[in-house]
């Protein structure tokens, strides 16, 4: 095991997959000579050259389309969006082309492509650059959506995403690039898509969190354990779509209570979907209405204090746990 | 203008009806011919419809209580209308009937929220009154009990009555920990033996009949009742047979008869007394299944089957558990005599809590009897015959009597019935046990 930051774990995954499969290449703004806006592709251009690591102009729709075409022609592109906020410009290529090509071509064209980049808030980048778009993409059949929260998950899931024959939306988090964690050194280490991970076991309350809210949920769980002797189970679905609802339902059947912590807005969010599925499969096991902790229903403020107020944090998750546990 | 809602005649022989439930609540809008309440008559549960449209302003006879034909059970009118005068009139009606119109002060300032202080209807005192609701009853929205799904499930699985549980969640919602607390404190209905000194607050409909209390039928009991009923008929019956050595009882009877000569008692008189005593120890057998309620009787009113020319009637020894052998004996004789002469009054043959049919004197060894609803069980008593038995490795004879109890499975389970028969058998085989 090596201790790596999420940034370096992603870098390793990309490097290993480029070495492993000659069809894999990376394309995006500043990914080559500048080593990536967030240094995820550091050293790759130097090592592999222009053919495998391709800088693009600021043309999201254009390079996403080139990626979709390359994938249809048999390559395995990894398209980096500097942030997923800019993927909105490429949404037509992602949603109308990548997601639907296999279906509309009657199975003739696979699109083995990964769209990756940071999703959600960063540090005071304001309304247009702080959006969590997972629910948006997860809504469309044909797209897989992956959101790692640890270095090991980032590496194992990115490798699986690159090897997957379908378009995968791979969402990182800018605030988490520097988070360190143990990562297996095996070059063939992968984590299958669609399997949730129980980050902390507990018996009184389940917290489902993803991406940035996973470490927050973990801290909240430690806090309520200490203060109220309430034992929380923290589940990270890791893959939003396909969603491993079984693991969540099993946990809720045990704990009877569920808090969902997410960075997106609450309306029609992934948390809303999980909440519905839990109601559907574990209605008779619930002891309290499911509680969601989401980002405030407002464009993200620029002001630091307001940004903090808008985002989910440990105290909010603790409050949520107390509420469903009737404390 | 506000009008009275009167108890209608819903069956040809109906004299009074019990409000089974109010479909509408105070404040609800009502259309003409819309069902406002369900009424249990002597025949069936009937839907009672409103004759006029308006708003249900006041419920005067709450669910579970009876009202005479034509008695005012509610007030209908326009929303927000002042009906204090009409209410006063209805109260006077009650007192002029000579019934116990209770002093009321709330008429004026009364609002719809004051449901728990519902004015008692003006009614004769021999009504069945609803069991006192626990003070801690969960608050509810529109009369609904608030229960979390897991709590509801746990209560069902454990046979808990949710109405007896205080909810600690928001708005009194009953949540998992409330059920856990209830289970810890042993508040279950599973084992009748654990119920300590229940109180019987309800007076009976029939004069002299045993008082009883009612508990809401637990979901588990209701399911047992429903499923077994589907399987076997309206009263799912099963039979338990036990062999009883009657030698000691026969000796006892001889002694008694010697000392009270020329008066004498029969074996059946002893059986009536022993059954009554056993019943008070096994409340589920001295009970009656009433759909959403199970009625538990305080005393054992034993119906004794008497064959008469045109059939069979079961006059009742009231409170047999409290009476001596001689008294039981003379009552049975007197009632049997009246039965044969068709002089029995309804209260002398209606409303037993348990029945005994004894064909022993006719040489019948063993038989099954059919339950007399709404009783929960009937005992079929055969003849006591000298039978060879092995005791201490020796063949000897004992007077063996076969007794078969038919049980209403909706309220009596196999084990419940068996425990009753055990007690019954112990007392007959070892009469000293009657003193225990």
Tens of pLDDT, residue by residue over B203-255, are 666 777 888 888 777 766 776 777 667 666 778 889 999 999 999 999 999 99
Q: Which of A12, A16, A60, A172 is catalytic?
A: A60
Cβ–Cβ below 8 Å for A284 and B151: no
Q: Could you tell me how many CB contacts below 8 A there are between chain A and chain B?
A: 28
Residue B386 and residue B260: Cα distance in Å, rounded? 26
Q: B46 or A244: which carries more pLDDT confidence?
A: A244
Residue B22 contacts residue B49 (beta carbons within 8 Å): no
pLDDT score at B142: 57
Query: Min CA distance, A10 vs chain B (Å)?
Result: 43
Q: Which of A129, A222, A250, A323 is catalytic?
A: A129
Residue A142 and residue A168: Cα distance in Å, rounded? 9
Query: Min CA distance, A286 vs chain B (Å)?
Result: 5
Mutate to test the interface with A, among B138, B146, B147, B149 (most CBs of A within 10 A): B149
Q: Does ipTM exceed 0.90?
A: no
Residue B361 contacts residue B392 (beta carbons within 8 Å): no
CA distances from A115 to A176, B73, B178 (A): 18, 72, 50
pLDDT band at A155 (very low <50, low <70, confident <90, very high): very high
Chain A neighbors of B150, CB-CB under 8 A? 256, 284-287
Domain ranges of chain B: 3-117, 140-188, 212-435
Pick from A15-19, A212-216, B262-266: least confident: B262-266
Class of residue A147 by CB neighbours under 10 A (exposed 0-12, middle 13-18, buried 19+)? buried
Query: Min CA distance, B411 vs chain A (Å)?
Result: 27
pLDDT band at A135 (very low <50, low <70, confident <90, very high): very high
* Dihedral angle sign, alpha carbons of residues B206, B212, B215, B221: negative
Determine the 3-state secondary structure of B90 from DSSP: helix
Chain A neighbors of B168, CB-CB under 8 A? 326
CATH number belonging to domain B212-435: 3.30.559.10
Chain B neighbors of A287, CB-CB under 8 A? 148-151, 175-176
Residue A253: closest CA among chain B residues belongs to which residue? B150
Residue B77 and residue B80: Cα distance in Å, rounded? 9
A97 is catalytic: no
User: What is the per-residue burial (b if ≥16 Cβ within 10 Å, else e) of B295-308?
Assistant: bbbbbbbbbbbbee
For residues B250, B251, B256, B262, the Cα torsion angle rounded to the nearest 10 degrees is: 70
Class in CATH terms, B3-117:
mainly beta
Query: Min CA distance, A251 vs chain B (Å)?
Result: 14
Residue B152: closest CA among chain A residues belongs to which residue? A284
**Run of H or E residues at B334:** helix B325-340
Residue B344 and residue B357: Cα distance in Å, rounded? 18
Fold adopted by A197-324: Rossmann fold (3.40.50)
Residue A266 and residue B394: Cα distance in Å, rounded? 85
Residues 257-316 of A with CB under 8 A from B: 283-288
Cβ–Cβ below 8 Å for B148 and A285: no
Q: Report the residue from B149, B152, B175 with minimal CB separation from A326.
A: B175
Q: What's the rounded mean pLDDT across residues A270-281?
A: 97
pLDDT score at B205: 66
| pTM > 0.80: yes or no | no
Residues of chain B with pLDDT under 70: 12-13, 42-43, 94-143, 187-199, 201-205, 219-220, 223, 227-228, 230-232
- Does A228 reach chain B within 8 Å, measured CB to CB? no
pLDDT score at A83: 97
Query: Min CA distance, A320 vs chain B (Å)?
Result: 15
A60 is catalytic: yes
CA distances from B56 to A221, B77, B91 (A): 52, 7, 18
pLDDT score at B12: 67
CATH pick for B140-188 out of 3.40.920.10, 3.90.1150.10, 4.10.320.10, 3.30.450.20: 4.10.320.10
* Dihedral angle sign, alpha carbons of residues B307, B312, B318, B322: positive
CA B316 to chain centre: 16
**Ramachandran angles phi, psi of B185, nearest 5°:** -80, 5
Chain A neighbors of B148, CB-CB under 8 A? 256, 286-288
CA distances from B190 to A44, B100, B159, B352, B411 (A): 71, 38, 7, 25, 12
pLDDT score at B111: 39
Chain A neighbors of B157, CB-CB under 8 A? none
Chain B neighbors of A286, CB-CB under 8 A? 148-150
Q: Which residues of B are catalytic?
A: 409
Residue A284: closest CA among chain B residues belongs to which residue? B149
CATH architecture of A2-183: 3-Layer(aba) Sandwich (3.40)
Q: B389 or A215: which carries more pLDDT confidence?
A: A215
Length of chain A: 327
Q: What's the rounded mean pLDDT across residues A75-89?
A: 98
- Whether residue A210 is predicted with pLDDT greater than 70 in this model: the reply is yes
């Amino acid at each position: 095991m090596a201790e790596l930051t999420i940034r370096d774990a992603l870098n390793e995954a990309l490097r290993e997959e480029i070495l492993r499969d000659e069809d894999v290449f990376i394309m995006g703004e500043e990914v080559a000579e500048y080593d990536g806006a967030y240094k995820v592709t550091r050293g790759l251009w130097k090592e592999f050259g222009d053919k495998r690591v391709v800088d693009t102009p600021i043309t999201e729709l254009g390079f996403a389309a080139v990626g979709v075409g390359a994938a249809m022609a048999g390559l395995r592109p990894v398209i980096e969006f500097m942030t997923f906020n800019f993927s909105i410009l490429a949404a037509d290529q992602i949603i109308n082309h990548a997601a639907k090509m296999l279906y509309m071509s009657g199975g003739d064209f696979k699109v083995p492509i990964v769209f990756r980049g940071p999703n959600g808030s960063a540090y005071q980048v304001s309304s247009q650059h702080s959006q969590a778009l997972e629910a948006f993409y997860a809504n469309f059949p044909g797209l897989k959506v992956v959101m790692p929260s640890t270095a090991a998950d980032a590496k194992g899931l990115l490798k699986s995403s690159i090897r997957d024959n379908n378009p995968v939306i791979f969402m990182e988090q800018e605030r988490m690039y520097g988070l360190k964690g143990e990562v297996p050194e095996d070059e063939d280490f992968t984590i299958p898509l669609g399997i949730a991970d129980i980050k902390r076991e507990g018996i009184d309350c389940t917290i489902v969190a993803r991406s940035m809210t996973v470490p927050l949920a973990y801290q909240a769980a430690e806090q309520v354990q200490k203060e109220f002797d309430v034992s929380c189970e923290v589940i990270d679905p890791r893959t939003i779509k396909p969603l491993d609802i079984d693991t969540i339902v099993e946990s809720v059947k045990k704990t009877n209570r569920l808090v969902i912590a997410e960075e997106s807005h609450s309306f029609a969010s992934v948390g809303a979907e999980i909440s519905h599925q839990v109601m559907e499969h574990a209605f008779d096991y619930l002891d309290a209405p499911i509680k969601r902790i989401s980002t405030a229903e407002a464009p993200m403020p620029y002001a630091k204090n307001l940004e903090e107020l808008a985002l989910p944090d440990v105290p909010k998750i603790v409050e949520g746990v107390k509420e469903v546990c009737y404390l | 203008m506000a009008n009275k809602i009167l108890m209608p005649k819903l069956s040809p022989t109906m004299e009074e009806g019990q409000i089974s439930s109010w479909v509408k609540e105070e404040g609800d809008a009502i259309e003409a011919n819309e069902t406002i309440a369900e009424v249990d008559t002597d025949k069936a549960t009937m839907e009672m419809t409103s004759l006029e449209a308006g708003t249900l302003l006041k419920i005067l006879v709450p669910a579970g209580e009876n009202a005479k034909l034509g008695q005012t059970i509610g007030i209908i009118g326009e929303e927000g209308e002042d009906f204090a005068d009409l209410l006063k009139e209805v109260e006077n009606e009650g007192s002029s009937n000579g019934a116990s119109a209770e002093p009321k002060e709330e008429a004026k300032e009364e609002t719809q929220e004051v449901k728990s202080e519902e004015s008692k209807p003006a009614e004769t005192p021999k009504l069945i009154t609803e069991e006192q609701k626990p003070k801690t009853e969960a608050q509810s929205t529109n009369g609904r009990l608030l229960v979390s799904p897991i709590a509801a499930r746990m209560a069902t699985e454990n046979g808990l009555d949710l109405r007896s549980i205080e909810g600690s969640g928001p708005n009194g919602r009953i949540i998992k920990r409330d059920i856990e607390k209830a289970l810890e404190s042993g508040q279950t209905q599973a084992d009748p033996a654990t119920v300590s000194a229940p109180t019987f607050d309800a007076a009976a409909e029939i004069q002299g009949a045993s008082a009883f209390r009612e508990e809401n039928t637990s979901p588990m009991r209701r399911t047992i009742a429903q499923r077994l009923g589907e399987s076997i008929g309206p009263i799912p019956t099963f039979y338990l047979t036990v062999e009883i050595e009657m030698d000691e009882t026969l000796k006892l009877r001889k002694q008694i008869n010697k000392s009270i000569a020329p008066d004498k008692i029969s074996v059946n008189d002893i059986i009536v007394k022993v059954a009554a005593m056993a019943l008070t120890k096994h409340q589920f057998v001295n009970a009656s299944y009433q759909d959403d309620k199970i009625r538990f009787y305080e005393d054992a009113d034993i119906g004794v089957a008497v064959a008469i020319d045109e059939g069979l009637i079961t006059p009742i020894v009231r409170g047999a558990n409290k009476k001596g052998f001689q008294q039981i004996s003379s009552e049975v004789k007197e009632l049997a005599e009246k039965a044969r002469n068709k002089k029995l009054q309804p209260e002398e043959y209606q409303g037993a809590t348990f029945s005994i049919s004894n064909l022993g004197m006719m040489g019948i060894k063993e038989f099954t009897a059919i339950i007399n609803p709404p009783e929960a069980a009937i005992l079929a008593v055969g003849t006591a015959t000298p039978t060879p038995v092995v005791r201490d490795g020796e063949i000897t004879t004992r007077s063996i009597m076969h007794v078969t109890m038919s049980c209403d499975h909706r309220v009596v389970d196999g084990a419940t019935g068996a425990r009753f028969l055990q007690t019954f058998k112990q007392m007959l085989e070892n009469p000293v046990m009657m003193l225990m």
